A and B are shown apart, each in its own frame.
Chain A
């Protein structure tokens, strides 16, 4: 098969800097139109992997493919369909927003009306229209991030690699950026995004990859990883009376663990999905407990991340 649905693929990627194993045997793939979140602490190997995909660095071993093209052997083909937003913003002196984008549009070979259309599209998408003639030096952090995103998508790439795009942004700018990324994915673009702000990623990513010390610990949707890691949801139950009895009743069950009493509230971990939670509530009521509140806290990406990375590689 030549053109498949997989647009990003890493196969046993290794990148060593002397004795340091920046990336060690990392493999995963991302499908078209997906937003893939790359999670990991500083120095985990996220940026190195992304730079290899962006044809800025070379792997020590392994293979990285973008839309079926090897980043090592066919970087020209990869560059045509890839937009990269690095975790830094560097620009040229004495250049305004429009000139900056115009330069990169020309550098990607866009000419005449096509270039003008690309500029209008990108400036409108990133809401930079009003700043067109503003010198870049005078832009705020958020505006620069938007400009950087605009630059990376000026040639309408099918794959976008965004390294810490939300770093240093205020809450409003983060929301805007999140919406932009989601819109790009809805438009069929594949987005690989890294961030320290896990709540951001949780809201926009279809799939996440958790990496630490160069090794990929888990890949999949948050719920997949949760299921694979046998993570349990935390359930809170409040009864009018007989909280002790409920705690004892729960402690005898196999699908419940770590039962704690907190006044009239019983907190415990439940091993099961939403359906089994509903059955459990039904059984409680049938057993005569007067339940006034029942809720389970959905596990956040942070919980999953902490669970997956805890003590695995030290």
Chain B
């Protein structure tokens, strides 16, 4: 039997079967590949995507987004009227679509991420999750990944509308691209922050307060984003050097804080005997390095030798380390045997790396070290600028008094930070001996210290009308804000000059008073892991591990520590 074109039917059928088999085989290969990819995906991402696709909340939000998109298409097109055929109205319509997209991105997705983790902790499902082999890092990244998947779905739903606005003319691709990138980054950042907040407390009252805070915060950010984007969309992007520099700087700051928030959330979920601090300290150091690098770039290349840059560097860096220090000095001084297994043990390692180990004493010294590094770098920048002859201490709008104001500001701000943080360390250590201290408590105590140190003398000043107009006095010695403002103002009187000598001494005294407890932390030696743990780690590694390190040494010649319990 033959076909119309003369080929055998059997032969034709054979070819057809072969083609079908080949197609099926390729499909099977693809499916197997997808299965392997699926295996590598974060389990929480897989589970939450499955859940979301079945949930009413997601369906409703998605439908509402589509309806709003279509609604705005009709309303926008009606408003423009016949002009849509002749004029360039893409910009107006784009902004409407952006508002429609920004709401789920800024409010729904971050709130969903917050509830996703908070609800697990409230309902008890988190307990079951926490006893699996998932690491806290995987749990946070899974939740964040799930938020990103939702964002992508919302983006894809609105993308035809955005394409439509480009067809209408009046808006270019870069503007659309950057607007969407900013919206995406805002949503991802808010989601990470929301996840961090969800880890702070399991108490119902605080959960309710945090929920209100998250909703109001996300609504506020939504509102700000809309205002910023209104200006952005209505202006023409100037793709010159400053646009890219600004974006690169913004992205650096965003990425470094994003990593910090992410690591903080993971550390909050880490088992209490685990190391919750070292990764954060490394991230803080990298962030500080990046910030310093940017400032150096500006100091040497963009705005060579402009003194206000040094002030910006010291101010932003100082505030950053002060806030970070509030958390680090509030850590517990007790190191679990598990953490002690990873302590540096060579003399050089202990000198350089002990400050990255958890503990309030090491945290305090870590912050002081970074403050001093910052001051030295600022000094180095000034000296280098003078040697390179690029120094421009004055210029249009830059008063000459900055030359004296900056060293004063540097010395005083560092001294205040060291004193306040040292005081916080003592208070938190005292509280820890009596109560359980929550992770946010150190920040609260530092805020109270700052409020008392600045508020009490200012209130005393304000209570007597005779003081009005007298300006700064020694009564304000503890008031960092007024003292620093007076120092920066460059017209500081003898009181501030006097404090520039006394406060570093008080700061030194604070460090000395804290020194015994800091030394106790630093003197802790490495513990040997129990043989059972070593055996397990060797089994998991599939090969014998390096032999046990030689006797732990440290600059104080401490004897090696014994394992936490007898394995025999």
Q: Interface residues, chain A, CB within 8 Å of chain B? A: 1-3, 54-56, 58, 63, 68-70, 72-77, 79-80, 82, 84, 86, 88, 90-95, 99, 103-104, 106-109, 111-112, 115, 151, 155
Contact A69 B532 (CB under 8 A): yes
Distance (Å) between the CB of B517 and the closest chain A CB?
A: 23
Known: A1-B568, A73-B336, A112-B35. A106 touches B46 (CB 8 A): yes
Q: Which among B54, B133, B337, B530 is the interface contact of A107 at CB below 8 angstroms?
A: B133
Contact A72 B336 (CB under 8 A): yes
**List of 8 A-B pairs having minimum Cβ-Cβ separation, nearest first:** A106-B43, A107-B132, A94-B54, A68-B532, A103-B47, A90-B124, A111-B39, A73-B338
Distance (Å) between the CB of A17 and the closest chain B CB?
A: 11
Complex CA distance for A1 and B532, rounded to whole angstroms: 9
Known: A73-B564, A95-B50. A107 touches B134 (CB 8 A): yes
- Pairs across A and B, CB under 8 Å, 6 listed: A56-B127, A69-B533, A73-B564, A74-B338, A90-B123, A94-B51
Task: Give every chain B residue within 8 A of A84 (Cβ-Cβ).
Answer: 128, 131
Contact B131 A54 (CB under 8 A): yes
Task: Give every chain B residue within 8 A of A55 (Cβ-Cβ).
Answer: 130-131, 271
Among the interface residues A3, A84, A90, A112, which one has the most CB atoms of the partner chain B within 10 A? A90
Task: Give every chain A residue within 8 A of B131 (Cβ-Cβ).
Answer: 54-56, 79, 82, 84
Complex CA distance for A95 and B128, rounded to whole angstroms: 16
Known: A2-B567, A77-B533. A92 touches B132 (CB 8 A): no
Distance (Å) between the CB of B272 and the closest chain A CB?
A: 6
Among the interface residues A54, A79, A106, A115, which one has the most CB atoms of the partner chain B within 10 A? A106
Interface residues of chain A: helix, strand, loop or mixed (majority): loop
Distance (Å) between the CB of B341 and the closest chain A CB?
A: 8
Contact B125 A90 (CB under 8 A): yes
Task: Give every chain B residue within 8 A of A94 (Cβ-Cβ).
Answer: 50-51, 54-55
Task: Give every chain B residue within 8 A of A80 (Cβ-Cβ).
Answer: 133
Contact B533 A74 (CB under 8 A): yes
Distance (Å) between the CB of A286 and the closest chain B CB?
A: 56
State how many residues of chain B have any CB contact under 8 Å with chain A.
38
Complex CA distance for A56 and B532, rounded to whole angstroms: 22
Distance (Å) between the CB of A159 and the closest chain B CB?
A: 12
Task: Give every chain A residue within 8 A of B564 (Cβ-Cβ).
Answer: 70, 73
Task: Give every chain B residue within 8 A of A112 (Cβ-Cβ).
Answer: 35-36, 39
- Indicate if B565 sits at the interface (CB-CB under 8 A): yes
Known: A88-B124, A107-B132, A111-B39. A93 touches B55 (CB 8 A): yes
Contact A86 B43 (CB under 8 A): no
Task: Give every chain B residue within 8 A of A104 (Cβ-Cβ).
Answer: 128, 132
Complex CA distance for A2 and B539, rounded to whole angstroms: 13
Complex CA distance for A93 and B50, rounded to whole angstroms: 10
Complex CA distance for A26 and B36, rounded to whole angstroms: 47
Distance (Å) between the CB of B479 and the closest chain A CB?
A: 40
Complex CA distance for A88 and B122, rounded to whole angstroms: 13
Q: Which among B51, B530, B568 is the interface contact of A95 at CB below 8 angstroms?
A: B51
Known: A77-B533, A107-B129, A109-B133. A99 touches B567 (CB 8 A): no
Q: Give B121-156 as 1s and 0s: 1 = Cβ < 8 Å from A's Cβ atoms.
A: 001110111111110000000000000000000000
Task: Give every chain A residue within 8 A of B467 (Cβ-Cβ).
Answer: none
Distance (Å) between the CB of B346 and the closest chain A CB?
A: 24
Distance (Å) between the CB of A179 and the closest chain B CB?
A: 25
Of chain A, the residue at the smallest CB distance from B567 is A2
- Indicate if B273 sits at the interface (CB-CB under 8 A): yes
Complex CA distance for A206 and B542, rounded to whole angstroms: 36
Distance (Å) between the CB of B120 and the closest chain A CB?
A: 9
